[in-house]
């Protein structure tokens, strides 16, 4: 049952009379009201997290794994109520809701399995050598310990997999860190339901009060106050470059700076070779149209730029891309703010005199949008860095290059990306070696002959990349190695076995 209140540890709290409403983006109907967290509630949530930290971090890996598994079970028990609420708050279809719920539970279970094998601690032992000359060698044990309470920001485009019980929360809890979530205002009811599942799981498995809190807000004040709180030791964020950079700067200015692991903007370039275009141009065009329109383009890995070299089949490829795009129905965006931002940036792009609009259906009513395709040549692309800005929505830009040398120059000019894709044929491999060499320094994941949308949750996945794709390209926000963000190394020297953690 929804309350509209904040979870401050185990306690439901609604100190603030200021509220905001959950809105159905498809109908623009207003639903439940949610109490905005006060500074006092933030303070209390962080205080509880700090107090619970020593007890929770000392839990055995089996106990923490049991907690994570219990969260997954409780989310599953929410059943149809969660699915209906998700769809009502996002305008997304039931199949997407069920798929994301399965992914969320899968992530929790994956971390539970992973921490049972203590290899994740990256431990290394040096044996003592008291007879070493000229100085005795001490016994050293290198291991990893959790860094402390973590602030997690829910993402607008993934109400389950990247929000309340998403990868940031799951990996932090797996590491032994209590979590305070700042829920996203686009899906507060979904967030509260999932938060209730986490609290229920915590109580059932004997976790301390304060191991998890969930705070409501529809402004930047609560998030800002949370990141600046001296007891918060790290931040997980998925969202825009503007918001992620603001949080990063806030954390850096603290008396004690803390890490902000933000996954931010990316245009996820796709390189389509001439041979691939000649052999299977229609198929590639259909795949691209499906990818940049998927979920109304509201995926962090949506392909926003397509690079290709001028060739005899380019005109046919453009027609096929436009045709494939026209066959995709208009879709609902997650909220009015995202729709307005999409329209603004899109209009800025198509007002550029060097850009040719290939497919543009005009602005739709409400929060509905249709796919947009534009075209520009590489020389004009080089002249305007703003053309590398992510357009969050169903938008892609075809950049045509005179030759492979110019295409490589375009690749070299790119900012950091989450992904980059290469669509090519085997006979071109020798010519494309330099292209691959260049692109590997621009992206966290390089994909061959398929689209970038879709992020496998596995040990081999990297979901991150050079700035501005993320704030630290050495880490991933997807997959079990995401746990490393919330750990720090520590060495124990000459410690007796009975005192080691």
Mean pLDDT of the region 219-247: 97
Q: Is the dihedral of CA 481, 486, 489, 490 positive or negative?
A: negative
**For residue range 166-175, what is the model confidence (pLDDT) as tens digits?**
999 999 999 9
Q: Are 69 and 165 in contact (CB under 8 A)?
A: no
pLDDT band at 187 (very low <50, low <70, confident <90, very high): very high
Q: What is the 3-state secondary structure (H, E, C) of 106-125?
A: HHHHHHHHHHHCHHHHCCEE
| Confidence at residue 431, expressed as pLDDT on a 0 to 100 scale | 96
Model confidence at 49, pLDDT cuts 50, 70, 90, reads very high
How crowded is residue 323: how many other Cβ atoms within 10 Å of its Cβ?
A: 14
Q: Is the pLDDT of residue 501 over 90?
A: no
For residue range 341-371, list pLDDT tens digits in order. Answer: 999 999 999 999 899 999 987 778 899 999 9
Confidence of residue 233 (pLDDT cuts 50, 70, 90): very high
> What mean pLDDT is predicted for residues 236-256?
97
- The residues that bridge with 477 in the sheet, in sequence order, are none
Structure tokens at 368: 């509905």
Q: What percent of the chain shows pLDDT beyond 70?
A: 100
- The whole-angstrom separation of Cα 308 and Cα 402 is 9
pLDDT of residue 74: 98
Q: Is the pLDDT of residue 231 over 90?
A: yes
Which of 87, 177, 300, 401 is flagged as catalytic? Answer: 300
pLDDT at 119: 87
Q: Is 179 helix (H, G, I), strand (E, B) or coil?
A: strand
Query: Number of helices (H) and strands (E), helices first, in the chain?
Result: 13, 21
Whether the predicted pLDDT of 409 surpasses 90 = yes
- Report the chain's terminal Cα–Cα distance, integer Å: 41
Query: Quick one: pLDDT at residue 360?
Result: 86
Is 255 tagged catalytic?
Answer: no
Predicted pLDDT at 202: 98
Work out the average pLDDT over 59-81.
98
Q: What is the pLDDT of residues 294-342, one digit of tens each?
A: 999 999 999 999 999 999 999 999 999 999 999 999 999 999 999 999 9
Q: What would the mean pLDDT of 107-126 be, rounded to a whole number?
A: 94
What's the mean pLDDT in 156-165? 96
pLDDT at 213: 98
**Neighbour count for residue 235 (Cβ, 10 Å):** 26
- Is residue 159 a contact partner of residue 130, using CB atoms and an 8 Å limit? no
3-state helix, strand, coil in the chain (%, to 5): 45, 20, 40
Sheet holding 11-13, edge to edge: 11-13, 6-8, 212-215, 179-182, 150-153, 234-238, 260-263
pLDDT-derived band at 118 (thresholds 50, 70, 90) equals confident
What is the tens place of the pLDDT at every residue in 253-278? 999 999 999 999 899 999 999 999 99
Q: What is the DSSP letter of 240?
A: -
Give catalytic status of residue 300 as yes or no: yes
Q: Which of 9-23, 113-127, 306-320 has the lowest mean pLDDT?
A: 113-127
Q: Percent of the chain having pLDDT more than 90?
A: 95
* pTM of the entire predicted model: 0.96
Q: What is the pLDDT of residue 364?
A: 81
| Domains, the chain, with CATH or none | 6-123+147-264+470-490 (3.40.605.10), 270-448 (3.40.309.10)
pLDDT mean across residues, the chain? 96
Which pLDDT tens digit goes with each residue over 91-106?
999 999 999 999 999 9
How does residue 393 score in pLDDT terms, banded at 50, 70 and 90? very high
Given the residues 41, 263, 320, 390, select the one marked as catalytic.
263
pLDDT of the residue at 320: 98
């Amino acid at each position: 049952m929804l309350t509209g209140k904040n979870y401050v540890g185990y306690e439901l709290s609604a100190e603030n009379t200021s509220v905001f409403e959950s809105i159905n983006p498809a109908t623009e109907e207003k639903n439940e009201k949610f109490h905005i967290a006060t500074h006092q509630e933030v303070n209390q949530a962080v205080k509880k997290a700090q107090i619970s930290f020593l007890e929770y971090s000392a839990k055995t890996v089996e106990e923490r794994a049991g907690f994570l598994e219990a969260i997954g079970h409780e989310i599953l028990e929410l059943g149809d109520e969660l699915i209906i609420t998700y769809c009502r708050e996002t305008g997304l279809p039931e199949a997407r809701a069920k798929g994301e719920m399965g992914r969320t539970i899968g992530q929790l279970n994956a971390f539970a399995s992973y921490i049972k094998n203590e290899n994740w601690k990256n431990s290394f032992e040096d044996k003592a050598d008291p007879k070493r000359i000229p100085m005795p060698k001490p016994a050293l044990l290198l291991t990893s310990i959790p860094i402390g309470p973590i602030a997690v920001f829910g993402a607008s485009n993934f109400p389950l997999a990247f929000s309340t019980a998403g990868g940031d929360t799951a990996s932090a809890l797996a590491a032994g860190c209590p979590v305070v979530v700042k829920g996203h205002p686009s899906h507060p009811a979904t967030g509260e339901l999932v938060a209730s599942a986490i609290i229920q799981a915590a109580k059932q498995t004997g976790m301390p009060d304060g191991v998890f809190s969930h705070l409501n807000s529809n402004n930047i004040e609560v998030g800002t106050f949370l990141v600046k709180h001296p007891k918060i030791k790290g931040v997980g964020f998925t969202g825009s470059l503007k918001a992620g950079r603001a949080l990063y700067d806030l954390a850096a200015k603290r008396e004690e700076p803390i890490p902000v692991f933000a996954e931010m903007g990316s245009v996820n370039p796709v390189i389509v070779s001439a041979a691939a275009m000649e052999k299977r141009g229609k198929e590639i065009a259909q795949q691209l149209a499906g990818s940049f329109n998927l979920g109304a383009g509201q995926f962090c890995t949506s392909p926003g730029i397509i690079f290709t070299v001028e060739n005899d089949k380019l005109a046919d490829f453009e027609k096929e891309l436009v045709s494939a795009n026209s066959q995709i129905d208009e879709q609902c965006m997650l909220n009015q703010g995202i729709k307005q931002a999409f329209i603004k940036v899109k209009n800025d792009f198509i007002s550029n005199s060097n850009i040719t609009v290939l497919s543009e259906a005009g602005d739709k009513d409400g929060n509905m949008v249709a796919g947009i395709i534009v075209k520009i040549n590489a020389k004009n692309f080089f002249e305007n860095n703003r053309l590398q800005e992510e357009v969050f929505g169903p938008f892609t830009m075809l950049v045509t290059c005179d030759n492979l040398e110019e295409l490589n120059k375009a690749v070299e000019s790119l900012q950091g990306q989450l992904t980059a894709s290469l669509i090519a044929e085997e006979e071109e491999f020798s010519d494309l070696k330099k292209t691959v060499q260049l692109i590997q320094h621009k992206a966290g994941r390089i994909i061959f002959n398929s689209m970038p949308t879709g992020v496998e949750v596995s040990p081999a996945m990297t979901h991150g990349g050079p700035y501005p794709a993320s704030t630290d390209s050495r880490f991933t926000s997807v997959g079990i190695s995401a746990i490393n963000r919330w750990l720090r190394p520590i060495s124990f020297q000459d410690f007796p076995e009975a005192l080691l953690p």
